[in-house]
Amino acid sequence: MTEKVNPLKLNALQLRTLTVLQALARSGAASLNEDGTEATIRGLPSPHGDHVHIGDAVVRTADMSGLSREPVWNALARKGLARSEWPRAITLTAAGLLYATGLDDEILHRHSGH
């Protein structure tokens, strides 16, 4: 049985925002709870012109617009993917950390040459 894509029916802005939050959690920009199943993000990276750096990736600021919108945080919370402390912090739940958005390759731009 294959996994259903976007089973919670997140809209495009919510998917992009969750992808960025997951990247922030993976990059070490989040505090993990004791058992590592949740990640709290208290600060967002500062833009460099039209992009930000998250770990080894570059993200266009246009793909981060949901991070500054309370309704997006609230939608992620309603779906059980996060807990919002708007505007101070957002905690990704285990479900939020594991949710497959399918957008990593589209949003997280990495240098392909090593």
In the block, which residue shows the tokens 């590592």?
A: 36
Domain assignment present for residue 60? The answer is yes
pLDDT category at 27 given cuts 50, 70, 90 is: very high
The total number of structural domains that make up the chain: 1
Count of alpha carbons within 13 angstroms of residue 53, beta-carbon side: 4
pLDDT of residue 2: 59
Residue 53 in 3-state DSSP? strand
Domain assignment present for residue 1? The answer is no
Give pLDDT tens digits for 54-95: 999 999 999 999 999 999 999 999 999 999 999 999 999 999
Mean residue pLDDT of the chain comes to 93
Residue 51's DSSP bridge partners are: 48, 60
Q: Using CA atoms, how far apart are residues 45 and 42, in angstroms rounded to an integer?
A: 10
Q: Starting from the edge strand earliest in sequence, which strands make up the sheet with 89-92, in order?
A: 31-32, 39-41, 89-92, 82-85
Domain of 64? 12-34+46-107
